Chain A
Amino acid sequence: MTILNTQQLVDAELNGNTQFFTFRKAPNQTTANGIWFDLSMSPGNPVPNYYAAAPNVAIALAQSTDGGLYHGGAVSTDAKYIKTFGIQTSTATAVPMPVVVLDYLMYYPFVDMSDTSTSGAAQTTGITLPRYPTGVGIKILPVVVAGPSGAGNPQFQVVYRNTADVQQTTPVHYCNTQVVNGTIVHTSPVGIAGNLATPSPFLTLAPGDTGVKQIDSVIWLGTGDIGLVSFVLVKPLMTINIRQTTAWVERQCYLDFTTMPQIVDDAYLNMICCPPGTLSGALITGYMQTVFG
């Protein structure tokens, strides 16, 4: 069953079909303006995620095993939605800052940036997408897990399977120069002349592709770099924009910017953000209320 109208939304809450959870992230990483950052790797509550697993072998993420923003247990055959989301920070260097809430589906750990073999670093996918099996809307998020040198803007491409199970190759992406863990490696406030791909926050896919089902390999061009990157398959759910330190930003997903983002059972939820400066020492707090019916 899904919530189909206002009455059912109200009834769901009156019947107690709701969960309220608060979070606090306290990044210790030194970040820079316009470079997207993965808050799932920051200290606080929920506990940090380190993308630690056997290199180049896909592994799923789930609330039951890995945590993330708590949204309540499985509700099937009902459907669960984000009803209210609020976030704030009192740290001046963290505002204004867009934040995107993601369902992190699975990741390919510790891809070595120094592997410049022509065929690329092969990735093993022995599992299917744990949620959103069609791959529609699934994005690739490359996250630094062991700092590169940050020099020379290394370039890479990802070979993946699209929603039709056709193998495709992304355009060439350039790495930024930020080296801290949690950096989304290809993002930047400014692109590089001659690079037609995007600096943020997800990899550009081949023309016409609407999503990703798995990654087959990662090709580092030229001389590569030192460092390790985990490639994460994610589903964006909602965006919320922190504007200033003096007020909460709160969103009723039913009424404000109506989206009713659905949370699939056992989803691993966390956030990425695009800070205007350093997040080191910043305190980002918030809450989420879910409703199901």
Chain B
Amino acid sequence: MAITTMDGIITAFTGGKTYRSDFNKNFLPANASATTGIWYDLSVGAGAPMMNAIIGSTTNLAHQGISETTTTTAATTALNGSIATTTFTDTTHSSGRFTIGMVLTGSGVAAGTYITALGTGTGANNGGTYTINISQTVTSQTITGTANAGGLLHGGDVSTDVKNITNMSVFSASATTAPVVVMLYDLLASYTISDATTLTALTFTGGAAWPRYADGKGVRAMLVPSIATGAGASSVLLEYERPTTGGTDTGRLTPTAPSLPLLTATCPVGQIAYSGTGVGKFGPFIPLQANDPGIKSVTKITMSTSRTSGCLNLMIVKPLAFMPITTVGVASERDFLNQLPSLPRIYDGACLHMAMYVGVASLPANSSFIGSLDTVWG
């Protein structure tokens, strides 16, 4: 069933089939001088709900379907983790990859402990260190990290009802934070690309249908670092399957004209790696072949140049709404019923995050973007 009338909307609201989500996302700390014309993924930024710690936490090139309740884990081997003041040391690594935002647990580990920054740790290296938020002492324990997908809350699963966004608003009171454009998207899956040196095609593994939008219609892809990349401005070629058209739907390739997407060398965490101005710059999504309506699955990715370090992530997303913020302090508001009739649908399990196109010359790090999202279902 779905809401089809104004009376249906009223019935749903007055019947309690509605949810208001208050959120705040901080602009990324590593981008102190955000450059105009670049897209940034706010899911890896601080705020409420807490950041998406899943990207970069999974096995290289493995498919990771994502819903709002998805978690991944990483762990030290038995008794090979320790904490001294605010430094967690992964003396001998066992499984998964430790990422910023991962909640740490173990005997003696203080409740609410999480990783706030990478030290020498890159996720899975023995002896790697990570900065945590609570000073404490923990000796020789098995320490486990749990990564949550984060995401704006939207009211939980409602099937067999259909959920829609009715309103959204967002503003910032921080100086020089406008104009920007905020994009709301549903994060469907991610692939960690920790291999920074292979120049032949890297094949994705564990292929499975997207948890939502399985037909791929409207689904797009973007590349975001979870560990800042080192030098090496590589082009990107993505091989994918498009939604079923009756023709040859597999083996679709990123178009080479006018140019393949060109990664920014030394790209900071959260910056969409090929966005910006100039040749080879696109945003926010990797271009598709003409008339392709989306991505049903991804097959391979090829880089033309190796990078000295860093970890990229291919994020599979479904864009839902765009919110332009024109002026600092002035809220951008969207009424998706009366103002821009569209009522974007939110599927059960949707993992909602935001990306931002920066139109101001220098957007300060950690700037706060505050807003709310109203949903209704029936």
Question: Do A and B come together as binding partners?
Answer: yes
Q: How many of chain B's residues have a CB under 8 angstroms from any CB in A?
A: 63
Structural contact, B22 and A139, CB atoms closer than 8 A? yes
Structural contact, B14 and A260, CB atoms closer than 8 A? yes
Q: How many of chain A's residues have a CB under 8 angstroms from any CB in B?
A: 61
Interface string of A155-170 (1 = CB under 8 A from B): 0010100000000011
Q: Is B107 an interface residue (CB 8 A)?
A: no
Q: Is B15 an interface residue (CB 8 A)?
A: yes
Structural contact, A259 and B167, CB atoms closer than 8 A? yes
B201 to chain A, nearest CB (A): 36
Structural contact, B166 and A259, CB atoms closer than 8 A? yes
The residue among A81, A207, A254 with the most chain B CB atoms within 10 A of its own CB is A207
Structural contact, A196 and B112, CB atoms closer than 8 A? no
B364 to chain A: closest residue by CB? A190
Q: Is B29 an interface residue (CB 8 A)?
A: yes
Structural contact, A208 and B69, CB atoms closer than 8 A? yes
Structural contact, A97 and B50, CB atoms closer than 8 A? no
Residues in A whose Cβ lies below 8 Å from that of B323? none
Stretch among A3-11, A62-70, A225-233 lining the B interface: A3-11
Q: Is A15 an interface residue (CB 8 A)?
A: no
Structural contact, B329 and A172, CB atoms closer than 8 A? no
Structural contact, B174 and A171, CB atoms closer than 8 A? no
Structural contact, B22 and A193, CB atoms closer than 8 A? no
Q: Is A86 an interface residue (CB 8 A)?
A: no
The residue among B26, B69, B335, B372 with the most chain A CB atoms within 10 A of its own CB is B26
Q: Is A55 an interface residue (CB 8 A)?
A: no
Interface string of A133-153 (1 = CB under 8 A from B): 000010100000000000000
Residues in A whose Cβ lies below 8 Å from that of B330? 96, 241, 243
Residues in B whose Cβ lies below 8 Å from that of A195? 46, 116, 133
Residues in A whose Cβ lies below 8 Å from that of B13? 258-260
Structural contact, A33 and B112, CB atoms closer than 8 A? no
B317 to chain A, nearest CB (A): 20
Residues in A whose Cβ lies below 8 Å from that of B112? 157, 169-172, 206
B335 to chain A: closest residue by CB? A257
Structural contact, A9 and B10, CB atoms closer than 8 A? yes
> Contacts A236-B372, A239-B372 known; A193 to B365 CB distance under 8 Å?
yes
Structural contact, B338 and A258, CB atoms closer than 8 A? yes
B365 to chain A, nearest CB (A): 7
Structural contact, A257 and B366, CB atoms closer than 8 A? no
Structural contact, A34 and B173, CB atoms closer than 8 A? yes
Q: Is B153 an interface residue (CB 8 A)?
A: yes
Structural contact, B329 and A208, CB atoms closer than 8 A? no
Stretch among A18-26, A121-129, A197-205 lining the B interface: A197-205
A44 to chain B, nearest CB (A): 23
Contact of A4 among B7, B20, B327 (CB under 8 A): B7
Q: Is B337 an interface residue (CB 8 A)?
A: yes
Q: Is A188 an interface residue (CB 8 A)?
A: yes
Contacting B at CB under 8 A, from A26-45, are 33-34
Contact of B20 among A188, A221, A236 (CB under 8 A): A236
Contact of B14 among A79, A98, A198 (CB under 8 A): A79
Structural contact, B14 and A172, CB atoms closer than 8 A? no
Structural contact, B10 and A196, CB atoms closer than 8 A? no
A276 to chain B: closest residue by CB? B329
Residues in A whose Cβ lies below 8 Å from that of B35? none
A12 to chain B, nearest CB (A): 11
A92 to chain B, nearest CB (A): 12
B328 to chain A, nearest CB (A): 8
Contact of B111 among A33, A100, A169 (CB under 8 A): A169
Q: Is B306 an interface residue (CB 8 A)?
A: no
Structural contact, B174 and A34, CB atoms closer than 8 A? yes
Q: Bound state CA distance, A199 and B23, in angstroms?
A: 10
Structural contact, A193 and B51, CB atoms closer than 8 A? no
Q: Bound state CA distance, A171 and B132, in angstroms?
A: 11
Q: Bound state CA distance, A17 and B100, in angstroms?
A: 53
Residues in A whose Cβ lies below 8 Å from that of B327? 96
A5 to chain B, nearest CB (A): 4
B100 to chain A: closest residue by CB? A196
Structural contact, B368 and A196, CB atoms closer than 8 A? no
Contact of B133 among A81, A196, A254 (CB under 8 A): A196
Residues of A within 8 A of B (CB): 2-6, 9, 33-34, 79, 81, 95-98, 100, 137, 139, 157, 159, 169-172, 188-208, 210, 221, 236-237, 239, 241, 243, 254-260, 262, 274, 276
15 additional contacts, CB 8 Å, given A195-B133, A239-B331, A258-B13?
A79-B14, A96-B329, A189-B367, A191-B367, A194-B29, A194-B131, A194-B133, A198-B48, A200-B24, A201-B370, A239-B169, A241-B333, A258-B166, A260-B13, A262-B16
15 CB contacts below 8 A, A to B, read A98-B370, A169-B112, A170-B112, A189-B173, A190-B365, A191-B366, A194-B116, A198-B47, A198-B48, A199-B368, A201-B370, A210-B156, A241-B169, A241-B330, A258-B10
